[in-house]
Structure 1
Amino acid sequence: MAGKISKLLKLTIAMLSPDSEQRFLGVWKSFKYPYQWSKLPNPISHNESFIISDCLRLGMVMPFILHRSLTTNCFRPLVFTNLQEQTGLHRNQVASAVIRCWSIVAKCSRLVFKFPLTNSDYEDLKKNLKEERQALTALFSDFMGLFNLHACYHLLQHARTFGNLQIQKSEQKRWSTAFSKFSSTYQL
């Protein structure tokens, strides 16, 4: 998830015009983070220094920051034209599509790290991962064939198979405790 967010950040920043980068940074600096979080570094000049936890936090806040800073005029002209042709969207829909893409990535990240997952959570995860794949590949051709995106294709299966290991671990501990009490009582 973090690698995908890092790639999406680089591609999003590359779409912005120099004036828009300054506008983005203004919103970035004034954004109120949860008090437990340390301040994230400048995503334009320090995007290579983000660690996994920074990328995941970034994925949570970027939809809000982009919603406040991204408009139709923020894109580089050539990039904007290419996005319009690639997606078939109207001029005023392109910025919304980029923000929506970030929102879908944030939803997927939330569901991936949710514990415990219910059956409806698995269905939501399946739906959101499919939406994420479609949104990323529709907007950014660099995501075609990306390993991280392909790995997310198998994420649902792995979540169903291995997601209950925490439950199994607590169950094993309970049985181990019960067995040790039983064996000490009956001198096994």
Structure 2
Amino acid sequence: MRFLYLTTGNHRYEQGNLTSFDLFEKALKTSSPSTLDWQVHHNNKNNYMSQPIVSIVNGIEALFSDIHTDLEANSDISKKGAQAVIDYYALISEKKYGFDISAEGSLKALAKSLLTKDPQKGLSIYQKTTELYPESAYALSSLAKAYAELGDINKAIQYQMKAVEKSKTMIEWHQKKHKQYLAEFKIMLNSKGE
């Protein structure tokens, strides 16, 4: 996999390059290989003198965006299901980055989107996420929240207790957050009179 970030502006010093720039973009649209991830941007906000620096920063952000931005539940990949999401992250881990990129956030987004219309499918994706990321307190916590939303508070408490245990290796803020979720589930259970 290769990445190309191409940018220009419309300053008078850049005008002479715009025709060639547009031709190159057209060539990319018609002839680029499927292994090339490319983006073209027209930056008309910055002066031509700062374009190189701004482009480097924006290019780095674009290159690593799939690490920092989860797939939307309605993305082409997510629409194909959990295994397609897992396969996508395996592909970019191996072919693009050379280190593991987590699919956890994208799987949770997909599971959440399915929870109301297909609760069993949503729960199964949450379960799969906890299997793939057994040390993740947040994978367990998301599963707990899903059970709570479906009215099974006992299961929610069971999984949130595991999340609290896993969070012990995290900074205090995260530990408190997981304990807070557990306390909320216990209040919910008490209010139901169970």
- Shared fold (TM-score greater than 0.5)? no
Higher strand content, 1 or 2: 2
Higher helix content, 1 or 2: 1
* TM bin (shorter chain): 0.3 to 0.5
Normalised by the size of structure 2, how large is the TM-score?
A: 0.34
Looking at CA atoms only, which structure, 1 or 2, has the larger radius of gyration? Answer: 2
Normalised by the size of structure 1, how large is the TM-score?
A: 0.34
